[in-house]
Structure 1
Protein backbone atom coordinates (compact mmCIF):
# COMPACT_ATOMS: atom_id res chain seq x y z
CA UNK A 1 0.00 0.00 0.00
CA UNK A 2 1.46 3.33 -1.07
CA UNK A 3 1.65 6.19 1.39
CA UNK A 4 -0.66 9.11 0.70
CA UNK A 5 2.22 11.41 1.51
CA UNK A 6 5.25 11.54 -0.70
CA UNK A 7 8.38 11.05 1.32
CA UNK A 8 10.68 14.02 1.07
CA UNK A 9 13.82 13.06 -0.77
CA UNK A 10 17.11 13.75 0.96
CA UNK A 11 19.31 16.20 -0.86
CA UNK A 12 22.80 15.24 -1.86
CA UNK A 13 25.48 16.84 0.32
CA UNK A 14 26.44 20.31 -0.80
CA UNK A 15 29.82 20.43 -2.53
CA UNK A 16 32.09 22.70 -0.49
CA UNK A 17 34.65 22.71 -3.29
CA UNK A 18 32.31 25.27 -4.86
CA UNK A 19 33.42 27.67 -2.14
CA UNK A 20 37.06 26.75 -2.57
CA UNK A 21 38.16 29.22 0.09
CA UNK A 22 37.50 29.52 3.81
CA UNK A 23 37.78 33.05 5.17
CA UNK A 24 37.52 32.46 8.93
CA UNK A 25 39.42 29.85 10.94
CA UNK A 26 41.72 29.40 13.91
CA UNK A 27 44.48 27.09 12.69
CA UNK A 28 47.68 28.68 13.94
CA UNK A 29 48.83 26.58 16.90
CA UNK A 30 48.96 27.84 20.45
CA UNK A 31 48.01 31.50 20.09
CA UNK A 32 44.26 31.52 20.76
CA UNK A 33 41.41 29.10 21.49
CA UNK A 34 41.90 27.27 18.20
CA UNK A 35 44.52 24.63 17.36
CA UNK A 36 46.79 24.04 20.35
CA UNK A 37 49.63 22.29 18.50
CA UNK A 38 50.93 21.77 14.99
CA UNK A 39 49.51 18.26 14.74
CA UNK A 40 46.02 19.65 15.36
CA UNK A 41 46.61 22.32 12.72
CA UNK A 42 47.72 19.79 10.12
CA UNK A 43 44.80 17.52 10.99
CA UNK A 44 42.35 20.35 10.35
CA UNK A 45 44.04 21.30 7.09
CA UNK A 46 43.90 17.69 5.94
CA UNK A 47 40.17 17.66 6.67
CA UNK A 48 39.67 20.98 4.89
CA UNK A 49 41.30 19.46 1.81
CA UNK A 50 39.10 16.37 2.02
CA UNK A 51 36.03 18.62 2.13
CA UNK A 52 37.10 20.30 -1.10
CA UNK A 53 38.81 23.46 0.11
CA UNK A 54 42.02 24.53 -1.62
CA UNK A 55 42.66 27.88 0.05
CA UNK A 56 42.39 28.82 3.73
CA UNK A 57 42.61 32.27 5.28
CA UNK A 58 43.31 31.65 8.93
CA UNK A 59 42.27 34.40 11.31
CA UNK A 60 43.53 34.11 14.91
CA UNK A 61 41.90 36.23 17.57
CA UNK A 62 43.31 39.63 18.44
CA UNK A 63 41.55 40.60 21.66
CA UNK A 64 43.53 42.64 24.17
CA UNK A 65 41.87 41.14 27.27
CA UNK A 66 42.13 37.47 26.23
CA UNK A 67 44.42 36.98 23.23
CA UNK A 68 46.75 39.98 22.99
CA UNK A 69 48.32 38.80 19.75
CA UNK A 70 50.39 41.15 17.65
CA UNK A 71 51.17 41.16 13.97
CA UNK A 72 54.61 39.75 14.82
CA UNK A 73 53.39 36.98 17.13
CA UNK A 74 50.84 35.90 14.53
CA UNK A 75 53.21 35.94 11.56
CA UNK A 76 55.95 34.15 13.51
CA UNK A 77 53.56 31.33 14.48
CA UNK A 78 52.15 31.28 10.95
CA UNK A 79 55.63 30.72 9.50
CA UNK A 80 56.15 27.77 11.85
CA UNK A 81 52.88 26.29 10.58
CA UNK A 82 53.94 26.82 6.96
CA UNK A 83 57.23 25.02 7.59
CA UNK A 84 55.37 22.02 9.01
CA UNK A 85 52.78 22.10 6.25
CA UNK A 86 55.50 21.98 3.61
CA UNK A 87 56.78 18.73 5.10
CA UNK A 88 53.38 17.07 4.62
CA UNK A 89 53.17 17.86 0.88
CA UNK A 90 49.48 18.65 1.45
CA UNK A 91 48.28 20.67 -1.53
CA UNK A 92 46.42 23.49 0.18
CA UNK A 93 47.18 27.21 0.34
CA UNK A 94 47.18 28.86 3.77
CA UNK A 95 47.17 32.64 4.19
CA UNK A 96 47.11 34.62 7.40
CA UNK A 97 45.03 37.54 8.63
CA UNK A 98 43.26 38.04 11.97
CA UNK A 99 39.89 38.36 13.67
CA UNK A 100 39.88 41.61 15.63
CA UNK A 101 37.65 42.24 18.62
CA UNK A 102 36.16 45.74 18.50
CA UNK A 103 37.86 47.59 21.35
CA UNK A 104 40.16 50.57 21.81
CA UNK A 105 43.21 48.49 20.91
CA UNK A 106 41.68 47.63 17.53
CA UNK A 107 41.02 51.30 16.82
CA UNK A 108 44.66 52.08 17.65
CA UNK A 109 45.85 49.33 15.31
CA UNK A 110 43.75 50.72 12.48
CA UNK A 111 45.12 54.20 13.06
CA UNK A 112 48.69 52.85 13.02
CA UNK A 113 48.12 50.67 9.93
CA UNK A 114 48.96 47.64 12.07
CA UNK A 115 46.21 45.39 10.75
CA UNK A 116 46.42 41.96 9.11
CA UNK A 117 44.00 42.03 6.19
CA UNK A 118 43.17 39.43 3.54
CA UNK A 119 42.44 39.63 -0.18
CA UNK A 120 44.33 42.90 -0.16
CA UNK A 121 42.22 45.06 2.12
CA UNK A 122 39.48 43.01 3.82
CA UNK A 123 39.52 43.17 7.64
CA UNK A 124 37.61 40.65 9.76
CA UNK A 125 36.31 41.90 13.09
CA UNK A 126 33.82 40.84 15.74
CA UNK A 127 31.61 42.33 18.43
CA UNK A 128 30.61 41.15 21.89
CA UNK A 129 27.97 38.44 21.56
CA UNK A 130 25.71 39.90 24.24
CA UNK A 131 26.10 43.69 24.27
CA UNK A 132 25.97 45.86 21.19
CA UNK A 133 29.02 48.13 21.17
CA UNK A 134 28.89 51.88 20.87
CA UNK A 135 30.74 53.62 18.08
CA UNK A 136 30.06 51.18 15.23
CA UNK A 137 29.69 53.96 12.67
CA UNK A 138 32.99 55.45 13.80
CA UNK A 139 34.72 52.09 13.40
CA UNK A 140 33.35 51.67 9.89
CA UNK A 141 34.44 55.19 8.96
CA UNK A 142 37.93 54.67 10.35
CA UNK A 143 38.41 51.38 8.48
CA UNK A 144 37.14 52.80 5.21
CA UNK A 145 39.18 55.99 5.56
CA UNK A 146 42.28 53.78 5.81
CA UNK A 147 41.23 51.93 2.66
CA UNK A 148 39.95 48.74 4.30
CA UNK A 149 36.77 46.80 3.57
CA UNK A 150 35.07 45.89 6.89
CA UNK A 151 33.94 42.26 7.29
CA UNK A 152 31.75 41.56 10.32
CA UNK A 153 32.29 38.01 11.57
CA UNK A 154 29.40 35.63 12.33
CA UNK A 155 26.65 38.26 12.32
CA UNK A 156 24.06 35.65 13.29
CA UNK A 157 25.67 35.13 16.70
CA UNK A 158 24.98 38.63 18.02
CA UNK A 159 21.96 38.07 20.25
CA UNK A 160 20.86 41.71 20.23
CA UNK A 161 20.20 41.56 16.47
CA UNK A 162 18.08 38.40 16.55
CA UNK A 163 14.64 38.32 14.97
CA UNK A 164 15.39 40.99 12.39
CA UNK A 165 17.68 41.55 9.44
CA UNK A 166 17.46 45.34 9.46
CA UNK A 167 20.84 45.84 11.17
CA UNK A 168 22.51 43.57 8.61
CA UNK A 169 20.86 45.52 5.83
CA UNK A 170 21.91 48.83 7.39
CA UNK A 171 25.53 47.74 7.80
CA UNK A 172 25.72 46.40 4.24
CA UNK A 173 24.37 49.71 2.96
CA UNK A 174 27.32 51.33 4.74
CA UNK A 175 29.82 49.01 3.04
CA UNK A 176 30.22 46.29 5.67
CA UNK A 177 30.36 42.69 4.42
CA UNK A 178 28.39 40.12 6.43
CA UNK A 179 30.04 36.76 7.18
CA UNK A 180 28.03 33.77 8.42
CA UNK A 181 29.43 30.63 10.07
CA UNK A 182 28.60 27.39 8.29
CA UNK A 183 28.17 25.55 11.57
CA UNK A 184 25.43 27.96 12.58
CA UNK A 185 23.30 26.02 10.09
CA UNK A 186 24.01 22.75 11.91
CA UNK A 187 22.58 24.10 15.17
CA UNK A 188 26.01 23.97 16.80
CA UNK A 189 25.54 27.35 18.50
CA UNK A 190 21.88 26.77 19.34
CA UNK A 191 18.48 26.98 17.61
CA UNK A 192 18.12 30.77 17.79
CA UNK A 193 21.44 31.33 16.05
CA UNK A 194 20.53 28.73 13.42
CA UNK A 195 17.24 30.53 12.79
CA UNK A 196 18.99 33.90 12.46
CA UNK A 197 21.47 32.47 9.94
CA UNK A 198 18.57 31.07 7.92
CA UNK A 199 16.82 34.46 8.05
CA UNK A 200 19.91 36.15 6.65
CA UNK A 201 20.12 33.58 3.86
CA UNK A 202 16.42 33.94 3.02
CA UNK A 203 16.92 37.70 2.70
CA UNK A 204 20.14 37.32 0.68
CA UNK A 205 22.13 39.30 3.23
CA UNK A 206 25.18 37.03 3.40
CA UNK A 207 28.36 38.09 1.62
CA UNK A 208 30.81 35.47 2.90
CA UNK A 209 30.63 31.96 4.34
CA UNK A 210 33.27 30.77 6.79
CA UNK A 211 33.80 27.79 9.04
CA UNK A 212 35.19 29.61 12.10
CA UNK A 213 36.87 26.25 12.65
CA UNK A 214 38.72 25.93 15.96
CA UNK A 215 39.20 22.16 15.98
CA UNK A 216 38.74 19.20 13.67
CA UNK A 217 35.47 18.26 15.36
CA UNK A 218 33.92 21.43 13.91
CA UNK A 219 34.71 20.20 10.40
CA UNK A 220 33.43 16.72 11.18
CA UNK A 221 30.17 18.20 12.44
CA UNK A 222 29.89 20.33 9.32
CA UNK A 223 30.46 17.32 7.09
CA UNK A 224 27.65 15.39 8.77
CA UNK A 225 25.05 18.09 8.03
CA UNK A 226 25.81 19.02 4.42
CA UNK A 227 22.53 17.61 3.09
CA UNK A 228 20.54 20.32 4.85
CA UNK A 229 18.67 22.57 2.47
CA UNK A 230 20.07 25.81 3.85
CA UNK A 231 23.60 24.80 2.89
CA UNK A 232 22.38 24.57 -0.69
CA UNK A 233 20.55 27.90 -0.37
CA UNK A 234 23.66 29.54 1.05
CA UNK A 235 25.96 28.34 -1.69
CA UNK A 236 23.43 29.46 -4.31
CA UNK A 237 23.88 33.07 -3.16
CA UNK A 238 26.32 35.36 -4.94
CA UNK A 239 29.00 34.92 -2.29
CA UNK A 240 32.28 36.81 -2.37
CA UNK A 241 33.99 33.46 -1.67
CA UNK A 242 33.63 32.74 -5.38
CA UNK A 243 35.58 35.82 -6.46
CA UNK A 244 38.50 36.27 -4.07
Structure 2
Protein backbone atom coordinates (compact mmCIF):
# COMPACT_ATOMS: atom_id res chain seq x y z
CA UNK A 1 0.00 0.00 0.00
CA UNK A 2 1.45 3.35 -1.04
CA UNK A 3 0.42 6.34 1.06
CA UNK A 4 1.59 8.99 -1.40
CA UNK A 5 0.71 10.08 -4.91
CA UNK A 6 2.46 13.12 -6.31
CA UNK A 7 0.18 16.12 -6.81
CA UNK A 8 0.73 19.78 -7.53
CA UNK A 9 0.47 21.73 -4.31
CA UNK A 10 0.48 25.49 -4.63
CA UNK A 11 -1.40 26.20 -1.41
CA UNK A 12 0.17 27.20 1.89
CA UNK A 13 0.52 24.14 4.15
CA UNK A 14 -1.90 24.00 7.08
CA UNK A 15 -0.64 25.19 10.45
CA UNK A 16 -1.16 21.74 11.96
CA UNK A 17 0.59 19.75 9.20
CA UNK A 18 3.42 18.61 11.52
CA UNK A 19 1.58 18.97 14.81
CA UNK A 20 1.65 15.18 15.23
CA UNK A 21 5.44 15.42 15.51
CA UNK A 22 5.59 18.42 17.90
CA UNK A 23 9.38 18.09 18.29
CA UNK A 24 11.60 17.61 15.24
CA UNK A 25 14.60 15.61 16.42
CA UNK A 26 16.46 15.21 13.11
CA UNK A 27 17.50 18.06 10.82
CA UNK A 28 20.60 19.85 9.58
CA UNK A 29 20.03 23.51 10.41
CA UNK A 30 23.35 24.58 11.91
CA UNK A 31 24.78 26.61 9.02
CA UNK A 32 27.96 25.71 7.17
CA UNK A 33 29.00 22.61 9.12
CA UNK A 34 27.79 19.72 6.93
CA UNK A 35 25.60 19.04 3.89
CA UNK A 36 22.67 20.90 5.41
CA UNK A 37 21.96 24.63 5.34
CA UNK A 38 24.91 26.83 4.47
CA UNK A 39 23.94 30.22 5.91
CA UNK A 40 22.06 31.75 8.82
CA UNK A 41 19.31 33.22 6.62
CA UNK A 42 18.37 29.80 5.24
CA UNK A 43 18.42 28.28 8.69
CA UNK A 44 16.05 30.96 9.98
CA UNK A 45 13.74 30.50 6.98
CA UNK A 46 13.52 26.74 7.51
CA UNK A 47 12.93 27.14 11.25
CA UNK A 48 10.12 29.60 10.61
CA UNK A 49 8.58 27.29 8.01
CA UNK A 50 8.65 24.32 10.39
CA UNK A 51 7.10 26.42 13.11
CA UNK A 52 4.39 27.52 10.71
CA UNK A 53 3.53 23.86 10.08
CA UNK A 54 3.10 23.02 13.75
CA UNK A 55 6.59 22.18 15.03
CA UNK A 56 6.95 23.41 18.61
CA UNK A 57 10.57 22.46 19.30
CA UNK A 58 13.60 21.75 17.12
CA UNK A 59 16.60 19.67 18.13
CA UNK A 60 18.81 19.95 15.08
CA UNK A 61 21.40 17.25 14.46
CA UNK A 62 24.44 18.12 12.33
CA UNK A 63 26.57 15.25 11.13
CA UNK A 64 29.55 14.11 13.14
CA UNK A 65 31.44 11.89 10.69
CA UNK A 66 35.12 12.15 11.46
CA UNK A 67 36.50 11.58 7.95
CA UNK A 68 34.07 14.04 6.32
CA UNK A 69 32.43 16.27 8.93
CA UNK A 70 34.74 16.19 11.97
CA UNK A 71 32.40 18.28 14.07
CA UNK A 72 32.34 18.68 17.83
CA UNK A 73 30.75 20.95 20.39
CA UNK A 74 33.52 23.47 19.64
CA UNK A 75 32.86 23.62 15.87
CA UNK A 76 29.07 23.67 16.25
CA UNK A 77 28.56 26.18 19.05
CA UNK A 78 29.44 29.42 17.20
CA UNK A 79 27.25 28.87 14.09
CA UNK A 80 24.44 27.60 16.30
CA UNK A 81 24.67 30.72 18.46
CA UNK A 82 24.48 32.90 15.35
CA UNK A 83 21.10 31.37 14.55
CA UNK A 84 19.95 31.48 18.15
CA UNK A 85 20.79 35.17 18.45
CA UNK A 86 18.71 35.96 15.37
CA UNK A 87 15.79 33.96 16.77
CA UNK A 88 16.00 35.94 20.00
CA UNK A 89 16.06 39.23 18.06
CA UNK A 90 12.90 38.12 16.29
CA UNK A 91 11.34 37.17 19.64
CA UNK A 92 10.78 33.64 18.37
CA UNK A 93 9.16 31.43 21.03
CA UNK A 94 10.40 28.24 19.38
CA UNK A 95 13.00 26.31 21.42
CA UNK A 96 15.96 25.56 19.15
CA UNK A 97 18.80 23.33 20.36
CA UNK A 98 21.52 21.27 18.74
CA UNK A 99 22.67 17.71 19.22
CA UNK A 100 24.30 15.55 16.53
CA UNK A 101 23.87 12.65 14.17
CA UNK A 102 26.87 10.40 14.80
CA UNK A 103 28.17 8.12 12.07
CA UNK A 104 29.08 4.73 13.52
CA UNK A 105 32.47 3.47 12.44
CA UNK A 106 35.81 2.79 14.08
CA UNK A 107 36.41 6.52 14.49
CA UNK A 108 33.26 6.87 16.59
CA UNK A 109 34.48 4.62 19.42
CA UNK A 110 37.02 7.14 20.85
CA UNK A 111 34.24 9.75 21.03
CA UNK A 112 32.63 7.68 23.78
CA UNK A 113 35.43 8.82 26.08
CA UNK A 114 33.88 12.30 26.12
CA UNK A 115 30.27 13.45 26.62
CA UNK A 116 28.14 12.96 23.52
CA UNK A 117 25.60 15.45 22.20
CA UNK A 118 22.18 14.00 22.99
CA UNK A 119 18.79 14.78 21.47
CA UNK A 120 17.10 14.40 24.87
CA UNK A 121 18.28 12.95 28.15
CA UNK A 122 20.65 10.11 27.25
CA UNK A 123 19.34 9.52 23.72
CA UNK A 124 21.98 9.69 20.99
CA UNK A 125 21.11 9.83 17.28
CA UNK A 126 23.33 7.55 15.19
CA UNK A 127 23.51 6.43 11.58
CA UNK A 128 25.33 3.64 9.79
CA UNK A 129 26.59 2.88 6.29
CA UNK A 130 24.04 2.85 3.47
CA UNK A 131 26.18 0.30 1.60
CA UNK A 132 26.33 -2.68 3.96
CA UNK A 133 25.50 -3.55 7.55
CA UNK A 134 28.54 -2.96 9.78
CA UNK A 135 29.78 -6.23 11.26
CA UNK A 136 30.54 -4.41 14.52
CA UNK A 137 27.08 -2.84 14.88
CA UNK A 138 25.95 -5.02 17.79
CA UNK A 139 29.19 -4.21 19.65
CA UNK A 140 28.88 -0.48 18.97
CA UNK A 141 25.29 -0.46 20.23
CA UNK A 142 26.45 -2.30 23.35
CA UNK A 143 29.32 0.16 23.87
CA UNK A 144 26.96 3.13 23.56
CA UNK A 145 24.66 1.69 26.18
CA UNK A 146 27.56 0.72 28.43
CA UNK A 147 28.62 4.39 28.32
CA UNK A 148 25.18 5.36 29.65
CA UNK A 149 23.40 6.33 26.43
CA UNK A 150 20.45 4.97 24.48
CA UNK A 151 21.10 4.73 20.73
CA UNK A 152 18.47 6.06 18.33
CA UNK A 153 19.08 4.72 14.82
CA UNK A 154 18.35 7.35 12.19
CA UNK A 155 16.26 6.37 9.13
CA UNK A 156 16.57 2.55 9.39
CA UNK A 157 14.15 2.24 6.46
CA UNK A 158 16.83 3.72 4.20
CA UNK A 159 19.27 0.84 4.79
CA UNK A 160 18.34 -1.42 1.87
CA UNK A 161 20.09 -4.46 3.35
CA UNK A 162 17.36 -4.63 6.00
CA UNK A 163 14.46 -4.63 3.54
CA UNK A 164 14.37 -8.38 2.94
CA UNK A 165 13.64 -9.25 6.56
CA UNK A 166 11.64 -6.97 8.86
CA UNK A 167 12.76 -9.07 11.81
CA UNK A 168 16.13 -7.34 11.55
CA UNK A 169 14.43 -4.15 12.72
CA UNK A 170 12.90 -6.06 15.60
CA UNK A 171 16.37 -7.37 16.48
CA UNK A 172 17.74 -3.83 16.61
CA UNK A 173 15.02 -2.92 19.11
CA UNK A 174 15.85 -6.01 21.19
CA UNK A 175 19.43 -4.73 21.27
CA UNK A 176 18.15 -1.57 22.97
CA UNK A 177 18.03 0.68 19.93
CA UNK A 178 15.17 3.08 19.24
CA UNK A 179 14.20 3.55 15.59
CA UNK A 180 13.70 7.00 14.01
CA UNK A 181 11.73 7.11 10.78
CA UNK A 182 12.29 9.83 8.18
CA UNK A 183 9.03 11.61 7.40
CA UNK A 184 9.78 11.81 3.67
CA UNK A 185 10.38 8.06 3.44
CA UNK A 186 6.60 7.64 3.61
CA UNK A 187 6.10 9.91 0.59
CA UNK A 188 8.32 8.03 -1.84
CA UNK A 189 10.88 10.84 -1.83
CA UNK A 190 13.82 8.42 -1.47
CA UNK A 191 12.33 5.79 -3.77
CA UNK A 192 9.59 3.16 -3.86
CA UNK A 193 11.50 0.42 -2.00
CA UNK A 194 12.31 2.74 0.89
CA UNK A 195 8.69 3.86 1.01
CA UNK A 196 7.52 0.25 1.16
CA UNK A 197 9.97 -0.52 3.96
CA UNK A 198 8.77 2.52 5.90
CA UNK A 199 5.15 1.49 5.46
CA UNK A 200 5.89 -2.06 6.69
CA UNK A 201 7.65 -0.64 9.73
CA UNK A 202 4.70 1.61 10.55
CA UNK A 203 2.22 -1.24 10.05
CA UNK A 204 4.27 -3.35 12.47
CA UNK A 205 4.50 -0.53 15.03
CA UNK A 206 8.29 -0.47 14.92
CA UNK A 207 9.27 3.24 14.66
CA UNK A 208 9.65 5.02 17.99
CA UNK A 209 10.35 8.52 16.67
CA UNK A 210 10.09 10.51 13.45
CA UNK A 211 12.10 13.38 12.00
CA UNK A 212 12.18 15.61 8.94
CA UNK A 213 15.90 15.12 8.21
CA UNK A 214 15.60 18.54 6.61
CA UNK A 215 18.71 19.59 4.65
CA UNK A 216 17.63 21.89 1.83
CA UNK A 217 14.77 23.55 -0.01
CA UNK A 218 13.86 20.45 -1.99
CA UNK A 219 13.20 18.63 1.28
CA UNK A 220 11.08 21.52 2.51
CA UNK A 221 8.96 21.52 -0.64
CA UNK A 222 8.42 17.78 -0.32
CA UNK A 223 7.33 18.18 3.30
CA UNK A 224 4.77 20.84 2.40
CA UNK A 225 3.50 18.50 -0.32
CA UNK A 226 2.20 16.14 2.37
CA UNK A 227 -0.64 18.59 2.89
CA UNK A 228 -2.30 17.24 -0.26
CA UNK A 229 -2.30 13.64 0.95
CA UNK A 230 -5.11 13.13 3.45
CA UNK A 231 -4.48 9.38 3.70
CA UNK A 232 -0.89 9.80 4.80
CA UNK A 233 -1.80 12.63 7.15
CA UNK A 234 -4.33 10.38 8.86
CA UNK A 235 -1.68 7.69 9.36
CA UNK A 236 0.76 10.21 10.81
CA UNK A 237 -1.83 11.75 13.12
CA UNK A 238 -2.77 8.36 14.61
CA UNK A 239 0.65 6.67 14.94
CA UNK A 240 2.06 6.93 18.52
CA UNK A 241 5.40 8.60 17.77
CA UNK A 242 7.19 9.58 20.96
CA UNK A 243 8.53 12.97 19.83
CA UNK A 244 6.20 14.99 22.02
CA UNK A 245 7.81 13.48 25.13
CA UNK A 246 11.28 14.81 24.24
For the criterion TM > 0.5, the same-fold answer is yes
Partners of 1:228 and 1:202 in 2: CA distance: 17
TM-score (norm 1): 0.90
**Aligned residue runs from structure 1 range 1-244, under 5 A:** 15-110=17-112, 112-226=113-227, 227-244=229-246
Query: Are the equivalent residues in 1 in contact too, given 2:208–2:242 (CA < 8 A)?
Result: yes
Assess, with a 3 A threshold, how the Cα gap between structure 1 residues 231 and 163 changes in structure 2: closer, same or farther. farther
Query: Are the equivalent residues in 2 in contact too, given 1:185–1:231 (CA < 8 A)?
Result: no
Query: Are the equivalent residues in 1 in contact too, given 2:226–2:232 (CA < 8 A)?
Result: no
TM-score (norm 2): 0.89
Bigger radius of gyration: 1
* 1:231 CA displacement: 4.0
Task: Tell me whether 164-173 or 198-207 shows the greater mean CA deviation.
Answer: 164-173
State the Cα deviation string for residues 39-59 of structure 1 (Å, max 9, x = none).
010010010011100100100
Task: Tell me whether 132-141 or 81-90 shows the greater mean CA deviation.
Answer: 81-90
Partners of 2:106 and 2:93 in 1: CA distance: 39
Count of matched residue positions in the alignment of Structure 1 and Structure 2:
232
- Which runs of 4 or more aligned residues in structure 1 lie more than 3 Å from their structure 2 counterparts after TM superposition? 12-15
* 1:228 CA displacement: 4.8
Compute the RMSD of aligned alpha carbons.
Answer: 1.7
Q: Secondary structure at the match of 2:201?
A: helix
Partners of 2:147 and 2:26 in 1: CA distance: 22
State the Cα deviation string for residues 11-57 of structure 1 (Å, max 9, x = none).
x9774213210010000000000000000100100100111001001
**Structure 1: segments with no counterpart, 5+ residues:** 1-11
Q: Secondary structure at the match of 1:129?
A: coil
